[in-house]
């Protein structure tokens, strides 16, 4: 096992607040490990346990191993279908 630490960021955004937390972890570490270690679940207790997660905009499993410099993103459920949102915007024009 390696003794060096990897640098990770955990990001979560709501309409009124965005948070990016930086932490260092011992490898091997997974997305789930980083989310738990970051303390973000304490700041946002409403985050769903089965929320979609990803790395740099690409959806991943919570068991995905992390590498130095990765940014873990926790995604919120869509409030409206993107196609429906486009239709509504087009009607307002």
pLDDT, residue 41, reads 94
Compute the CA torsion angle 42, 8, 26, 58 (nearest 10 deg).
100
Residue 21 lies in a domain: yes
The boundaries of the domain holding residue 55 are 6-92
pLDDT, residue 51, reads 84
pLDDT, residue 80, reads 75
Q: What does each C-alpha distance from 51 to 22, 58, 64 come to in angstroms? A: 20, 14, 14
Residue 61 lies in a domain: yes
pLDDT, residue 24, reads 98
Mean pLDDT, the chain cut into blocks of 10 residues (93 residues total): 85 93 96 96 87 94 97 87 82 81
C-beta separation of 35 from 44 below 8 A = no
Strand partners, 11: 20, 73
Residue 1 lies in a domain: no
pTM of the model: 0.80
Residue 29 lies in a domain: yes
Tell me 40's DSSP state. Answer: H
Radius of gyration, CA atoms only, the chain: 16
């Amino acid at each position: 096992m390696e003794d060096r630490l990897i640098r990770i960021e955990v990001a979560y955004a709501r309409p009124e607040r965005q948070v990016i937390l930086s932490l260092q972890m011992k490898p091997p570490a997974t997305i789930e490990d980083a989310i738990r270690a970051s303390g973000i679940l304490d700041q946002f207790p409403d985050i769903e346990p089965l929320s979609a997660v990803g790395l740099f905009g690409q959806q991943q499993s919570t068991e995905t191993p992390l590498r130095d410099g990765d940014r873990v993103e926790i995604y919120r459920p869509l409030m409206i279908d993107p196609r429906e949102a486009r239709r509504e915007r087009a009607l307002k024009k």
